[in-house]
Amino acid sequence: MTTKTFLLAATAAAAALLASTAQAASVVNGDFEAGNTGFTSGYGYLAPAGQFTLYPEGFYTVDTNPNNVHNLWSSFGDHTSGHGEMMIVNGAPTANVTVWDETLSGLSTNTNYYFSAWVASSYPTNPAVLDFSINGSSIGGLTAPTTTGQWTQFYVQWNSGANTSADIALVNQNTIRSGNDFALDDIAFGTVRPGVPEPATWSLLIGGFGLAGAALRRRRVLAAA
């Protein structure tokens, strides 16, 4: 095996390891690119059908721009790429209705997991007041910004304890009819902190590239002999 081939193989193996680790116990459709699937909601779903789609409160849709489904809402792109899908919501005047919910199974016990979600207001008045929970216990909350189109992250670490599953839910505690309009995107859950590989993964990466470096040095020594 040539040094170049070895380096490519080591890089590919490390990338595959990172991908498989990051996908463990992951949210099915956290970026909403698959549309209205992979989650449940106590709100009603309306398929995008022009700028009057989301006039009724307590409904949501999945689309690329809030202004596409409500003529008074700001025009902006999703958090993922700026031109993909997002969950767009008209807040309900009813308390304790679950906006988004998904149950993840196969979790490891006594393990730190990381939960992240991005929120943006589509209308500046009376921003949504969001409460996140796992297995019925609150893990924190976030008030959406009054600046429309400004994506804000909710992020928390959660230890599974004896749990092998996690029912993750989001409730909007704001029940005001006027305003209270928002979008969700890039909901993520896993053992990998967003953008940071686990220590074990770093060890494998360093080890793999160390072997590649040793092979390169050996090749140079042989070539000079």
Bridge partners of 156, per DSSP, are 115
Show the 3-state SS of the chain.
Answer: CCHHHHHHHHHHHHHHHHHHHHCCCCCCCCCCCCCCCCCECCCEECCCCCCCCCCCCCEEEEECCHHHCCCCCCCCCCCCCCCCCEEEEECCCCCCCEEEEEEEECCCCCCEEEEEEEEEECCCCCCCEEEEEECCEEEEEEECCCCECCCEEEEEEEECCCCCEEEEEEEECCCCCCCCEEEEEEEEEECCECCECCHHHHHHHHHHHHHHHHHHHHHHHHHHC
pLDDT of 46 reads: 98
Which two tokens mark 32? 């909403």
What number of CA atoms fall less than 13 Å from residue 44's CA on the CB side? 11
Token pair, residue 161, equals 């304890």
Among the listed residues 38, 69, 39, the one whose alpha carbon sits nearest the alpha carbon of residue 56: 69
Fold of 25-191: Jelly Rolls (2.60.120)
pLDDT of residue 193: 80
Q: State the CB neighbour count (10 A cutoff) for residue 21.
A: 16
Q: What is the pLDDT of residue 49?
A: 98
220: pLDDT confidence band, cut at 50, 70 and 90? low
- Domain positions in the chain are 1-23+195-225, 25-191
Instruction: Assign 150 a pLDDT band (cuts: 50, 70, 90).
Output: very high
Report CA Rg, the chain. Answer: 22
Least confident of 13-17, 53-57, 185-189: 13-17
Give the model confidence (pLDDT) of 124-134 as tens digits: 999 999 999 99
Is the pTM for the entire model greater than 0.85?
no
Average pLDDT, the chain: 85
What backbone torsions phi and psi does residue 153 show, to the nearest 5 degrees?
-95, 135
Rounded CA-CA distance 62/188 in Å is 17
Burial 160-198 (b: 16+ CB within 10 A, else e): beebeebebbbbbebbeeebbbbbbbbbbbbbbeeeebb
Q: Is the dihedral of CA 211, 215, 221, 225 positive or negative?
A: positive
Q: pLDDT tens for residues 17-56?
A: 443 343 356 899 999 999 999 999 999 999 999 999 999 9
Residues 96, 133: Cα–Cα separation, whole Å: 12
